[in-house]
Amino acid sequence: MIISPKEAIKLQKELADKIIEQNMFEKIDYIAGVDVSQPAFMQQGILYAAVCILSFPELELVEQVHHFQETDFPYIPGLLAFREAPVIINALEKVKTKPDIIIADGHGISHPRKLGIASHIGVLTGHITIGCAKSILVGKPEKELPPKKGSYVPLIYHNKIIGNVLRTKDKVNPVYVSIGNKITLDKATEIVLACTTKYRLPEPTRLAHQYANYARKNNLKS
């Protein structure tokens, strides 16, 4: 029962209606970063997912887990979640320290059908999620982005604001922040910036990427 791209698109349209664009949290003590690592140019193969839990606002690593499994779904722009979300969700179930917010490496509602991987994970798990992508899938920046860290401009698609283009480091390419689930764009942007130190990517996602890569290269089991 391998879901087809056509069925995947239909499912995205249904799940998109379940997204809540309001802050559904009160306190933020722990933030998780999730990402996936895979062998070069392997459409079919094993995917390693990593979840890094950081204390907030200290940003100290308090727990990290990984999980790996085979995949059959190829990478198709717009359908990334059907390839990466399964292993990520399984990894999340191994975590002891339940995160208040999850930041995913990819888009949230800044997606052709409003259901990028961050929203996909949010709707399926009920978690509060934020999308933080490294490049644009759809939309265009409203105007030129100033070079200073902390500056941001709206990401526009069909004349609507779907996210924010955020500069997380002086004179370095920005990241694209969007609502995943149960949070507002303003709060999501504020949190991503608060999670940023000396690198382009926010610490949760940066560390998850690093650990997923480490787990895969060292054939970590479990």
Chain contacts with Mg ion (rule: CB under 5 A): 35, 105
Stretch of 22-30, 57-65, 116-124, 149-157 contacting DNA, by CB under 7 A:
116-124
Tell whether residue 148 is a contact of DNA (CB under 7 A).
Answer: no
Enumerate residues 93-112 that contact DNA by CB under 7 A.
Answer: 105-107, 111
Least CB distance from residue 176 to DNA, whole Å? Answer: 8
In this structure, what are the phi and psi dihedrals at residue 121, rounded to the nearest 5 degrees? Answer: -65, -40
Specify the stretch interacting with DNA by CB under 7 A; choose among 17-25, 39-47, 89-97, 150-158. Answer: 39-47
Residue 172: partners with Cβ closer than 8 Å, 6 or more residues away: 200
User: Hey, is 117 helix, strand or coil?
Assistant: helix
Least distance from C-beta 57 to DNA, angstroms? 24
Q: How far is the CB of 105 from Mg ion (least distance, A)?
A: 4
Say whether residue 137 binds DNA (CB under 7 A).
yes
Tell me the two tokens of residue 27: 């306190």
Neighbours of 199 (CB within 10 A): 13
- CA dist 72 → 87, 88, 127 (Å): 12, 15, 26
- ∠ CA 82-59-196, nearest 5°, is 70
Distance CA(18)–CA(181), nearest Å, equals 9
Minimum Å gap between C-beta 135 and Mg ion is 11
Q: Is 117 in the site for DNA (CB under 7 A)?
A: yes
Q: Which of 29, 142, 137 is nearest to 78 (CA)?
A: 137
Give me the least distance between CB of 39 and DNA, in Å please: 6
If the CB atoms of residues 20 and 214 are measured against DNA, the closer one turns out to be: 214
**Residues in touch with DNA (CB under 7 A):** 35-41, 75, 77-81, 84, 105-107, 111, 116-118, 131, 133-137, 170-171, 209, 212-213, 216-217
